[in-house]
Chain A
Amino acid sequence: MSLIGNTTLSFTEEQAMLLDVAREFCRDKSPITAVRAQLESDCGFDQALWHEMVSLGWAGIALPESCGGSGLGVGALVPVVEAMGRAMLGTPLISNALAGQLLLRTAATDQAERLLPDIASGVTATLALLDNGDWGDDGIGLVLDDERVLRGLKKCVPDASVASVFVVSVSFKGSAALAIVRADQLGAGSLSPNTLIDQTKRAANVDFSGITVDDNNIIAAPAVAAALRDVRLLGALLVAAEATGSAAACLDTTVDYLKTRKQFGKLIGSYQALKHPTVDILTQVDSARSFIYHAATLVCDDALDTDAEIACRMAKAQACQTLLYAGDRAVQFHGGMGFTYDCDAQLYIRRAQWSQQQFGDVQHHRKQLARLLLD
């Protein structure tokens, strides 16, 4: 058996159509001026635009038709999210989709029928998973006690301020479980917005202490632990897809500058010191794209197998490494201009730090890959 293993990569008609639509939509609706207009707004995105995305069916792409989705599977989100990343378009789509995936994989039928159609129709849901800064820590600090009362807080909950529903990982009777919390259950002051390095994103620390969860909103199935692992992998994949899009846009921004800026009487793009690293960015973006669509081919609604796990982790490691490099070089290659807030390079270098820290960083995933490939 070769270490290279599975190299399946296919792309369906539906995914091709989604990619076309998503690219055009994001290009038209989310030019960089629109992105900048939201940098300091409260929710970080244009609500009307989010509703348009929902009306295109994007919130339900990965959910089954029986739950109001289009049944295309979670892999079909990859082209959409890549297009959004390219346009630096925030919105809670990723949070919403992942919350949907976690419920799809764990909820009892009646819970799924109650919750998933809302998510497919754009009622914003998000995941609250992080107890501390360590994505590699499988322990869960937030406790749901025997009285069904939550004790503790979650960190960096994405899109918390706009979420109507929180799917919260909890420790319940010593096992991993999920609590579904409505936004109107949160007490005053329980939401502390984070100041993020990426101003196109929003997150908050959320204190769930004191909230009582009724049995209808507890998922304590044995499948929860494995589903949490799978959804983290899917999260890694979607962030990788987004980062790949952002890296491609970052490359375009840099290339445009190298073609127009003159120094010492020459276009700076003619200097090999700038040319060759820019080619490195291109080849890295190529690798990242190959990995995300490979992973998109392998993920499915069922439990992820080892090939899919390897693919998601490689996608995340490659895409984030790529964006970190592309953003870093974009600032440098823009010279003095790159040091200013007005230069778009800052958007990408900031996005790179955000993406790197979602669902495990490059080093985390490579360490897990070593276990999967070498042991």
Chain B
Amino acid sequence: MSASKQELKEFRVEVAAWMQDNKPADPGFLLPQTFMEVGDERQLEFLRNWQHKIWSAGYLGMAWPKEYGGCGMDAVYQSIADKEMRRLAVPICFNVIGLGWAGPLINHIGSEQQKSKYLKGILNAEDVWCQGFSEPDHGSDLGNAQTRAVRDGNEYVLNGQKIWTTMGNFAKYMILLARTNPEAPRKYDGLSFFLSPMHVPGIDTRPIRKLTGEFGFTETFFTDARIPADSIMGEEGQGWKIAMQTLQYERGAEAGAAGGQSMVRITVDDMIHQLDGVRRDGAPVLEDPVVRDQVVQAIMEEKALFLGDRRSHIGHLTTDYPGSLPLSHKLRGTEMTRRMRQLAINLQGAEGALYVGDDDARQGGFWQRAYLNSFSATIGGGTSQVQANIIAEHVLGLPK
């Protein structure tokens, strides 16, 4: 039975009211805008409590089965809850690798035992998850991962190194892509996918200090680390396929993700609001004709992305290069974000040079930190330059 429009409307009102009543007060320190910015214990504890609260209220994992901590409801409810969280800009649900990658995967192809063991801890934030895909020498070339997993009796023995492990130092589990067969004719066929425990001898993490001065990622070292053989998902050699499968859950609750917003959206409206009181050449900054033109361009850029999403659903208007809008979304969205944040700092006047920690910094240095952090998206998940190559080759058909 699908819900009536009226029921959904009532649910939306209910969720919005709950979020407004329970939205945490300003903790007095900058909160992460994305799950890649959880740098210290106090941020972690804050976000852990917040996610637990949302889950306890029944607004997370709504479409996951009841027996594993979910609510067994239609995914449309979660989508509505997510939308309200975004709209009201509440703090993030930080356990993103669990909620959006590992969890849905376990839900879809995991064994009964795996479901019982992992799903609830993902939802209630007790078990933090991380992801071990990227390696130091193969940033954008995931298929070439070299970390080794060798079967030895009831165990796999891991050796190698991962990098850019988000919350690696806080995580209890990792989804891990490792090479079980170095002899496979295609590099992809030698990879396997694991749900690896992190707290075993031989797995060590070293926090990476980001350009913001904060932490959030680690390097992860595997030195003869032994993990149970049943940590593997699927069969040996299916790692690449399963890794690709995890990507599809990014589309949200309807695609299987547990829900919760993974990043606080920062819009051009936010950029303009932060300019209250800023003056340039003796007048409000938004009266400056050059600034106005730059701001209009930023608005157009953001609006074009929205409109592109609309247009992508109209077959007749996407015939030229059908893959163009979906394949360019990451490139455009992340580059837009980077430029907009840079502009936000440019427009602050002398205060633009202040950083987190200075009492006079606008919004506590929010924009400075946000700009520096924006590179995690223009670099991570395939750099903008690699994205441009992909579009050139797969959409325009240009030669490699």
Contacts and interface: CB of A to CB of B under 8 A. Distances in A.
The answer on A and B forming one complex is yes
Interface of A: 2-5, 7-11, 15-16, 19-20, 248, 255, 258-259, 266-267, 269-270, 272, 275-276, 278-279, 282-283, 286-287, 289-291, 293-294, 314, 317-318, 363, 366-367, 369-370, 373-374
Given A16-B316, A275-B392, A276-B388, A259 B397 contact: yes
Contact of B269 (A2, A248, A269): A2
A317 B298 CA distance: 13
A275 B296 contact: no
B398 A258 contact: yes
B399 A282 contact: no
Interface residues of B, number: 43
A298 to B, nearest CB: 11
Contacts of B400: 270
Given A9-B310, A279-B391, A282-B321, A370 B316 contact: no
B362 to A, nearest CB: 19
A16 B314 CA distance: 10
Interface string B330-345: 0110000000000000
Contacts of A373: 295-296, 299
Interface of B: 267-269, 272, 286, 289, 292-293, 295-297, 299-304, 306-308, 310-311, 314, 316-317, 320-321, 324-325, 328, 331-332, 385, 388-389, 391-392, 395-400
A206 B314 CA distance: 44
Contacts of A318: 300, 304
Contacts of A317: 300
Contact of B324 (A266, A278, A282): A282
Contact of B317 (A267, A289, A363, A374): A289
A366 B328 contact: no
Contacts of A282: 321, 324, 328, 391, 395-396
B183 to A, nearest CB: 31
Nearest to A258: B398
Contacts of B292: 367, 370, 374
B269 to A, nearest CB: 5
A3 B272 contact: yes
- Secondary structure of the B contact surface, majority rule: helix
Nearest to A285: B320
Contact of A374 (B295, B303, B331, B399): B295
A314 B308 contact: no
B316 A267 contact: no
12 contacts: A4-B269, A4-B299, A275-B388, A275-B398, A279-B391, A282-B324, A282-B395, A286-B304, A290-B311, A291-B303, A318-B304, A373-B295
A287 B398 contact: no
B59 to A, nearest CB: 24
A258 B392 CA distance: 11
Contact of B296 (A8, A266, A294, A369): A369
B315 to A, nearest CB: 8
Given A283-B328, A286-B324, A370-B295, A4 B303 contact: yes
Contacts of A10: 314
A370 B293 contact: yes
A259 B396 CA distance: 10
A314 B392 contact: no
Contacts of B328: 279, 282-283, 286
A272 B385 contact: yes
A279 B388 contact: yes
A152 B348 CA distance: 50
A15 B311 CA distance: 14
A371 to B, nearest CB: 8
Contacts of A269: 392, 398-399
Contact of A367 (B293, B388, B395): B293
Contacts of A7: 303, 306-307, 310
Contacts of A370: 289, 292-293, 295-296
A366 B293 contact: yes
Contacts of B320: 248
Given A4-B268, A11-B317, A275-B392, A270 B399 contact: yes
A5 B311 CA distance: 16
Given A279-B388, A283-B332, A374-B286, A2 B267 contact: yes
A369 B268 CA distance: 15
